[in-house]
Amino acid sequence: MTESDGCSDGDGCGCSNADSHPTATGSHDGARVAQLSVPEMDCPSCAGKVESSVRELTGIEGVDAQVATGRLTVEYDEAETDVDAIAARVEAAGYTVADDGGETLRFGVPDMDCASCAGKVESALGRVDGLRVVETHPTTGTAVVTYDRNATTEGDLVAAIESAGYEVTETTGEDDTATGQTDENGSLWTSSRALKTWVSGVFVAFGLLFEFLLAGVNTQVGSVFGSPLHAADILFLIAVATGGQEILRGGYYSLKNRNLDIDLLMSIAILGALTASLAFGEALYFEAATLAFLFSVAELLERYSMDRARNSLAELMDLSPDEATVKRDGTEQVMAVGDVQVGDVVVIRPGEKIPMDGAVIEGTSAVNQAPITGESVPVDKTEGDEVYAGTINEEGYLEVQVTAAASDNTLSRIVQMVEDAQSNKTEREQFVERFSAYYTPVVVAFAVLVTLASPTVFEVAWSTAVVYGLTLLVLACPCAFVISTPVSVVSGITSAAKNGVLIKGGNHLEAMGAVDVVAFDKTGTLTKGELTVTDVIPLNGNTEEEVLQCARGLEQRSEHPIGEAIVAEAGTAGVESTEVDDFESITGKGVRADLDGTPHYAGKPGLFDDLGFDLSHVHATTDGGVVTKTAQQLCQRHNCLDLLADTVPELQAEGKTVVIVGTEDEIEGVIAVADEVRPEAKAAVSRLRELGVERTVMLTGDNERTAGAIAREVGVDDYQAELLPDEKVAAIDDLVQEYDGVAMVGDGINDAPALASATVGVAMGAAGTDTALETADIALMSDDLSKLPYLYELANDANGVIRQNIWASLAVKAGLALAVPFGLVPIWVAVLAGDAGMTTAVTGNAMRLSRVRPENGDGA
């Protein structure tokens, strides 16, 4: 186990680390925060067991069990306890904790599909000598085990997992890319649990046959405690023995950890029915067998539903290839990606996936970056360009120098962040968890009351009253509505990731769906962030080439983006440079230099106004005595220009920045530079308005005229110009006070304060950029603003699905519970509809989010 300083969360909890090992970090109040990876903790029942077990330690100040990610965050007093003691309590609850050091193996355990299952696997592994930590991932069906290979073996670990009733389908090293995922649809229904279930069902069917259709041969074969035992009863008991094994095992661990979950409730119901039958002659063998069989079927259906949800994350993990072709010592070697080192050169041939992040050092090709950025069109790559692991080399031969290890490349960070994202609970998820803490005890109490009161109030037999109570115990589990939000978050976040949008928490997904205002940065967001020369207006008999030549000489030593744009334009036009001497930067106004011995200036109009020029009367260049087209459009006097009143304001009104070039004696020309508006910006703003965004605002540090021009072109409702970074923050704060939700869209670096102040911060073009990935709540992996309406629509739909899941599951559970005392709900309906049916339904509803796609229909 490791400890490190610092906490990524401001409140000292919910911290996330790059790795999945248990860590302890400092919190703000002097306590410590430990984050343990408990991958088998995959359902609310499992989380309850773990929390109960950990809270038995002294010095525990807070426990946050995150079911969807298998993460446990514990705040504790280091004077009272430590990370090892916490991990021991987790293992005592039957769950494995992942740790660093020692030998680490990843086991594919496809049947482990909920938190309860994970807890059982962890409990079984916890009894193995030499075990250090276990990390279970129900969402991927894998268990990562770190152990002392001198104290135990891989075989012992496999045997322990199998002793918990789970099949191990694959074993790999920790760094291997295999996920342990198998074809779930093919193996689930023939698994060990499934076979026991089918056997149980056969005996239930034969029992029913003897009970109702072959009553003549359903003779008494014995008695227990004076109660008769018939042939059908024997068949029902065998059905309980085969189908109820896993249920009773789960109930044992729940009881051991004093956790009132579905396993314990079902165990009580089955054992209660058997006790009433054997000890009191109530003949509830059929009910016990039905519970065992149908609940096992329910568990299989839940597993199938969970597989559908977890496959979306597995698809992300499977994007990167297992092997890479590396050039070393003049030869090509094929090796596992985990063995490739930073600085190695990998070879990628046409049609192959790029195995590592890196920079192209040889070759050109078009690369399909859709798996990372969601871009629908392949991007041309040449020497010096970045490429990302998991993208596809469409054509051409590439040699790429590796810049990041396999565990730290862009794809790995995305997968890790997607897994971590599920630990940030939405407000609805927190509400459901609070509600569920009261729901189960209340329904259990109601079950006891109904059992005791029904014979008197409804005048039914005691056997019927017991059945009512057992039925209510089945309905007492809150799993369906507890899982309704996490599974929706998993579906939404993984779907977004496959379409080039990285959402760093369920809370951010929820917040984005409730946004009323979207604020945009201008440069690099609504515009491309790359200045280009748009107009060259020669004056006083000069040509465009002469104006560019002077401007190039003046700007080639400048590091300002405007100067770089002018130099680039001159180079494209083939204009030669001149001899430059005595270069001087005039702060805030422009530059000065001697060109071929003659002093020249380039800068803002105010610079030339200071030099004594009359900018209201400048002669335009003509062509054969006729005014040029550009001059004709701008000059009202036909042969002269009023730069101050007409030309400069008109260019600025078009969103352009004006640079005047000249000597001490004459103005030689005007150059206009602009940052091109993204072609998709206008459509994105319009689509956001159609989807329900009340207001769109542009915030920029650019001048008023340029800002106004861009705002009008893209169609935002309002804009604020000439803002300093702190003024952008103030503008966001004002919007947050006026509206319920505000999203700020920026480049993720320069706009970090504003992104942090908004309800939701969205970074543009974050692929391969560590800072952008860390800064924003949501990252658009490509420079594609059209993904913003998709994000808003997905978040809106996700909020709708979560609401539907929560209220539907609550309504069904409540309706069934209230109908039980009136004899309207058979026990099989409670199992299949109230438990498995609703769990399957909410999962299926959540998976609809994967159908939301960007408008172009392309995705990852």
Catalytic (active site) residue 521: yes
Burial (CB count <10 Å: 0-12, 13-18, 19+), residue 677: middle
Exposure of 447 in the CB half-sphere (CA atoms within 13 A): 24
| Backbone phi, psi, residue 692, to 5° | 120, 0
Instruction: Give the C-alpha separation, 78 to 70, whole Å.
Output: 23
Structure tokens at 203: 């005996």
Structure tokens at 795: 């978040």
| CA-CA-CA-CA dihedral for 298, 182, 180, 38, to nearest 10 | -10
Residue type, 529: G
- Other C-beta atoms closer than 10 Å to the C-beta of 9 total 15
Residue type, 56: E
**Residue 711, SS3 per DSSP:** helix
- Other C-beta atoms closer than 10 Å to the C-beta of 406 total 22
742-746/580-586 β-pairing: unpaired
Place of tokens 């996490």: 486
Structure tokens at 394: 């469409």
Point out the catalytic residue in the list 113, 233, 521, 702.
521
Q: Which residues pair with 143 in a beta bridge?
A: 107, 136
- Other C-beta atoms closer than 10 Å to the C-beta of 190 total 9
CA R_g for the chain: 34
Structure tokens at 549: 């030549």
Burial (CB count <10 Å: 0-12, 13-18, 19+), residue 689: middle
DSSP 454-474: HHHHT---HHHHHHHHHHHHH
> 345 near 326, Cβ under 8 Å?
yes
DSSP 816: H
> 671 near 544, Cβ under 8 Å?
no
From residue 603, alpha-carbon distances to 251, 610, 663, 667, 796 in Å are: 79, 11, 12, 11, 48
> 600 near 639, Cβ under 8 Å?
no
From residue 119, alpha-carbon distances to 10, 48, 243, 270, 630 in Å are: 30, 10, 20, 21, 76
Long-range contacts, stretch 230-235, CB < 8 angstroms, 24+ apart: 232/207, 232/208, 232/285, 232/286, 233/207, 233/277, 233/283, 233/285, 235/203, 235/204, 235/206, 235/207, 235/210, 235/289
DSSP 372-435: HH--SS-EEE-TT-EE-TT-EEEES-EEEEE-S-GGGSHHHHHHHHHHHHTTS--HHHHHHHHH
Structure tokens at 514: 């409730």
| b/e map 493-521, b = 16+ CB within 10 Å | bbbbbbbbbbbbbbbbbbbbbebbbbbbb
Among 545, 423, 499, smallest CA distance to 858 is for: 499
Instruction: Give the C-alpha separation, 721 to 700, whole Å.
Output: 5
H helix runs in 638-784, sequence order: 648-653, 681-691, 704-714, 725-738, 752-757, 770-775
Residues 6+ apart with CB under 8 A from 534: 656, 672, 673, 674
H helix runs in 573-697, sequence order: 605-610, 629-634, 648-653, 681-691
What positions carry a catalytic annotation? 521
